[in-house]
């Protein structure tokens, strides 16, 4: 692979493949048949407004406004026939074929520059790259540190992710809301079981990045009335964020017992990045994934509440950069 010095931010802001064939897809619009899922149910969420270009650009500017040895060309786009997204496996193929390559190359370049970061830097991998345990189950995606050539055991993911599929013809607001909550609940469950605050969820419409905190009240405290997912809201960068609306998984869940059940008090923060988002004042999907894995590498323990991202991560990033200079 031919490489040359390239600006990391430009690399992460490359135009991605367009997932433009959803209207031709066939997806069941029947409501979910399971009434009880094996994980805590997310009934509402809040906007994670701090995960935005307005915050991350100044926070990470000394990392991604630098030149690194990067491929001279981006990964080739999947062939048009491969962009006919009709199910989760097809969506994941495109993610692996392009976005996973872009993000992994960026993380590798940063790891080569900042030696102290490499041992703990998380890489975006398939869910099978993490430790297997029947009660945990496997997410579709995992954030794991560099693995030795022949690891005796696999690490636990510190940044799990899921992929879900839906199409635009799902017009029932109630169903779409419940399906979105079911999928968010599954992704959040993987983070709870792995004792990490971060998780993410792919749909053909957007990337959802999530963070959860410890419940502020006991699990047996009556929950507040379920709230409808929020409508579009204005972010600090001036754009709008819409919560995802995704269906339940296409295959049945395997019964699993959560290790710690936050009950009805699980209210994660979510930020949405649309596939077309890129350019000045916006986070691209690749940029958001790079940022999430980098921040999780520097600290992802679950707390009752969190400082602003800038307040929490400015000092660790400054120390990292100083050690490399």
Question: Per-residue pLDDT tens for 168-195?
Answer: 444 334 445 677 788 889 999 999 989 9
The token duo for 226 is 């379920």
277 vs 198, 199, 201, 281, 282, CA distance in Å? 21, 20, 16, 10, 6
Judged by phi (left if over 0) then psi (alpha if -120 to 50, else beta), residue 137 lies in left
> pLDDT tier at 280 (50, 70, 90 boundaries)?
confident
What average pLDDT does range 44-67 have in this prediction? 94
pLDDT band at 233 (very low <50, low <70, confident <90, very high): very low
Is residue 69 situated within a structural domain? yes
Instruction: Give 84-110 pLDDT, tens digit per residue.
Output: 777 778 888 888 888 899 999 999 999
Q: Is residue 89 part of a domain?
A: yes
Q: Say which residues have a Cβ less than 8 Å from residue 235's Cβ, sequence separation at least 6.
A: 47, 49, 52, 54, 241, 271
> Which residue did the predictor score with more confidence, 124 or 147?
124
Mean pLDDT score of the chain, rounded to an integer? 77
Can you give the residue range of the structural domain that contains 289?
A: 3-16+42-144+156-218+225-324
For residue 21, tell me if it sits in a domain: no
Provide the domain count of the chain. 1
Confirm whether 30 is domain-assigned: no
Q: How far apart are CA 314 and CA 321, in angstroms?
A: 11
Q: Percentage of residues in the chain with pLDDT exceeding 90?
A: 41
Whether 122 maps to a domain, the answer reads yes
Residue 253 belongs to some domain of the structure: yes
Domain-embedded: residue 205:
yes
| 33 is a domain residue | no
DSSP 8-state class, residue 97: I
Q: Is the pLDDT higher at 200 or at 233?
A: 200
Structure tokens at 2: 């031919």
Confidence of residue 261 (pLDDT cuts 50, 70, 90): low
């Amino acid at each position: 692979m031919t490489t040359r010095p390239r600006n990391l931010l430009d690399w992460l802001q490359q135009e991605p493949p367009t997932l433009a064939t959803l209207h031709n897809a066939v997806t069941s619009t029947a409501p979910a048949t399971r009434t009880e899922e094996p994980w805590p149910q997310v009934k509402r969420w809040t906007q994670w407004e701090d995960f935005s270009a307005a915050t991350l650009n100044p926070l990470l500017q000394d990392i991604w406004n630098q030149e690194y040895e990067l491929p001279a060309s981006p990964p080739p786009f999947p062939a048009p026939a491969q962009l006919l997204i009709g199910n989760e496996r097809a969506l994941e193929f495109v993610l692996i074929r392009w976005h996973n390559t872009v993000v992994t190359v960026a993380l590798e370049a940063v790891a080569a520059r900042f030696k102290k970061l490499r041992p703990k830097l998380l890489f975006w991998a398939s869910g099978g790259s993490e430790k297997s345990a029947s009660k945990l189950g496997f997410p579709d995606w995992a954030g794991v540190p560099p693995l030795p050539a022949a690891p005796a055991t696999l690490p636990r993911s510190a940044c799990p992710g899921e992929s879900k599929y839906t199409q635009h013809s799902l017009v029932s607001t109630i169903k779409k809301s419940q399906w979105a909550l079911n999928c968010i609940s599954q992704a959040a469950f993987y983070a709870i079981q792995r004792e990490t605050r971060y998780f993410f969820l792919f749909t053909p419409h957007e990337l959802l990045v999530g963070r959860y905190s410890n419940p502020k009240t006991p699990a047996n405290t009556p929950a507040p009335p379920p709230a409808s997912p929020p409508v579009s809201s204005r972010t600090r960068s001036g754009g709008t964020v819409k919560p995802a609306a995704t269906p339940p998984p296409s295959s049945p869940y395997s019964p699993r017992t959560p290790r710690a059940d936050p009950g009805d008090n699980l209210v994660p923060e979510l930020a949405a990045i649309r596939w077309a988002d890129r350019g000045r004042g916006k986070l691209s999907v690749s940029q958001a994934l790079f940022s999430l894995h980098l921040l999780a590498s520097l600290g992802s323990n679950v707390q009752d509440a969190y400082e602003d991202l800038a307040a929490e991560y400015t000092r660790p990033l400054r120390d990292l950069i100083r050690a490399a200079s």
